[in-house]
Structures are given as structure tokens and as C-alpha cells.
Amino acid sequence: MRTVLVTGPGGAGRTTLAAATALAGARRGARVLLLTTGSAAPEAVLGSRLAADAATEIAPGLHARRIDPADRFRQEFLAFQERAGAALDLLGAAPLEEDELTELPGSEAFALLHALRVEHGSDDWDTVVVDMPPAAETIQLLALPAQVRRYLRRLLPPERQAARALRPVLAQLAGVPMPAQKLYEAAERWEGELAAVQRVIDDPGTSVRLVTEAGPVAAANLRPLRAGLALHGRRTDGVLVNRLLPTGSADPFLAGLSGSQQSALKALREEFPDLPLHEVPHLGRDPQGTEELDELIDGPACEIGEIGEGRPAAGKLDPWTVEDRLTDDGILVWRVPLPGAERDTLGLVRRGDEIVVSAGRFRRIRTLPSALRRCTVSGAGLRDGVLEIRFTPDPALWPQSH
């Protein structure tokens, strides 16, 4: 399964290019599903009404589905209310009816992750393309499963469930279900769901595609976003540069705009020499319908048609690797790929068996590998887009050679 998450700064045209990416894959013979949380904008781009509970066929090989956060929230809340019925009755609570439920802030993120997990496990698709929120929100959304799982492990450690065998007995004596039992059961369900979502996000076939316009600050805007994605182990497979004007215009105004875009395009190529950069032409209008999306795919300067069948790069799932320099330098080095990161935006804090790494506004907490837990942090440096954290063995904890 190939999963392509399309995102970028707000207003760059990510919904249009997510649809074009999906259509490009379908035109090449793949069975493609486009997932989106929007309604009006995606429907206008595709020229079709989208159902929230089923995939709608848009073109041969291409289906689209609109995620409805409100419906997902109602389903989850009513299921929770039913499971917690005994406890709520004990408290004298009045249950809520389905027609009085409205989704809470943050519901969209959970609905999108749930849909991504469900569709990733389907045999109906070769490729799933997701029209993601703006890039900063996408980074936080993709980090959400790991963060919530960490919170659950801290607040409800699995090893403390050893006494669960006594809870049914206590529940019979009390005459009501024990709250702790229900709490751990809920935590187990959440852990299972989050772990399944995490496997989709970490799958080597899942990648992020960045959309931008060729403005004067395009490279500066994408730099911290790519660093944030890399911090959480997300692979960026390319950059789509949208709404490029033709060069060589006789009109001085258009020639000036085009010249500015070409300068920005050059800066992007210099900033991201390791990433494919795909130029997407400006049609002079917002594309509507598959026929106009085909113009983006088949344009003479556009390579968007080639990226529908991109394959994941080979390599380890976890890009954070430990380098053994004990023999030569007496240290271990934890290498953290952070392309796009800038030295003055990085932060590093050791907290017990965990380490907190910050890149600008983005932060990640990782548990140290077992060997590094017996070491002290002796320094760090950023070199060629890789943060190298140096660890020196603690003599009190490290095995002594004889």
C-alpha cells in the first residue's frame, strides 16, 4: 500500500494538488482513494459531490471520500456513553441523545487518523492520497498517536494491571463495576487503536509531499516544516511548486512575476537538493473537474504525472541510529536526521531515561536506547542536516572491562 500525505502552507493549493496526485495515479492504472476532511473545496476541485460514509467514484480507478468529523465524534461518544452506562447511572447522570451532540475541537484530527487506518487496511486500493491540514497542523497530527500512547503508559502503566484479577471479585462485593477496571479496559482499547494508526504512519510506504508557491519566502517557510517532519521520523518524498507562470512573456508585468518565481524556484532547488521538485503550471484559473486537473498532470513543464507511482525509499523504519565510537573516541553518538533544521532553533534536554529534542516550534520526546541510558550527554552538534548527540559512558553504570 502506498500512502501519500499532501500538505503545505495554507493557501498553497494542497487540496488541488492532492486531487491531481490521486488522479495521476489512477491515470497510470492504480486503484486510488483520495481522502479529504473538507467539503466545498474538494468537491469544487473534483467536480463531484462526495459522500461521507462511502467512497465516490470520480474517474476510472479514482474514488474519493469525505471524512465527517461530526459523525465520527457522535459514534465514539455514544459508544463511550453505552460502555460507561453503569457508572453514569450510579452518578445519576442523564445520557445525551445523538441529535444534541456536536463535535469538540480536535475531533477532525482523530477522525482523519481513524479513516487513514481503516483505508490503509483495505484491499480496494493500491494508493491512498490524503488531503491533509496545513503543514504545521499535519506535523502535530502525525505526532499525536505516539504522544497519546506515551501519556497512557505514564498515567496507566500496564504493569500495574497485575491486580486486575481481584477487580471482578471487588465489583461483585460492591455491586457495581469497579472504575479502575473500566479505566484500564478503555486504555487498552485506545492503545490498540493508536498502535494501529502508528503502524500506518510508520509504514515505509507512507510519505509526505509538500506543496508550496514560488514566492520570495518559500524556501524559508518550508525549511522548519521539513525539520519538524524529520524530527518525528516522517519522510518527505518531494515538493510540488504550484501556480508557476510561463517564462518569456512579452508583458513586463508577467515577465517580472515569472522572473521572481524562477528566482524562488532556484532557491528551493538549492535548499532541498535531495528532494524531487515538481513544477506545476498556473492555468490562469482554479482547476475544476478531472478534465482541468488533467491539464496539470499533462502540462509540458509539469512532472506531477510521474509521482503517482513513486516508491518508498529503502532503509530503516527508524532513522535515529546509534554510532559506536567507543574504541576510537570513547563515546556513542545518536544520529538524528534533521534536514532543514537551523542551529539556533534546536533544543536538547535529558530527563531520566528520555531525551527531549526541539526544532523550532516542534518537539519530540524519545526514550533512550538501553545502552545510552547508562551514559551521560557530553555534547551535541548539527552537521549537514544531522543532529549528532554525544554520549559518554557513566563509569558507575557501564560494565568495566578486565
Of residues 101 and 379, more confidence is placed in 379
Strand 32-36 relative to strand 62-66, pairing: parallel
Beta bridge partners of 333: 323, 390
Please indicate, yes or no, whether residues 138 and 221 belong to a single structural domain of this protein.
Answer: yes
Cβ proximity of 111 and 72 under 8 Å: yes
Please indicate, yes or no, whether residues 346 and 263 belong to a single structural domain of this protein.
Answer: no
pLDDT tens-digit series, residues 114-165: 899 999 989 999 999 999 999 999 999 999 999 988 888 887 776 555 455 5
Neighbours of 293 (CB within 10 A): 28
Residue 218: pLDDT band (50, 70, 90) is: very high
pTM (two decimals): 0.86
Examine residue 360 and state whether it is found in any structural domain, yes or no: yes
Examine residue 164 and state whether it is found in any structural domain, yes or no: no
Residue 261: pLDDT band (50, 70, 90) is: very high
Examine residue 154 and state whether it is found in any structural domain, yes or no: no
Judge whether residue 398 has pLDDT over 50. Answer: yes
Please indicate, yes or no, whether residues 7 and 131 belong to a single structural domain of this protein.
Answer: yes
pLDDT tens-digit series, residues 332-371: 999 999 999 999 999 999 999 999 999 999 999 999 999 9
Judge whether residue 178 has pLDDT over 70. Answer: no
| CATH (domain of 333) | 2.60.40.790
DSSP string across 373-396: HTEEEEEEEEETTEEEEEEEE-TT
Judge whether residue 69 has pLDDT over 90. Answer: no
Please indicate, yes or no, whether residues 205 and 295 belong to a single structural domain of this protein.
Answer: yes
- The C-alpha cell that represents 328 in the structure block: 576510537
Please indicate, yes or no, whether residues 241 and 375 belong to a single structural domain of this protein.
Answer: no
Beta bridge partners of 365: 356
**How many structural domains comprise the chain?**
2
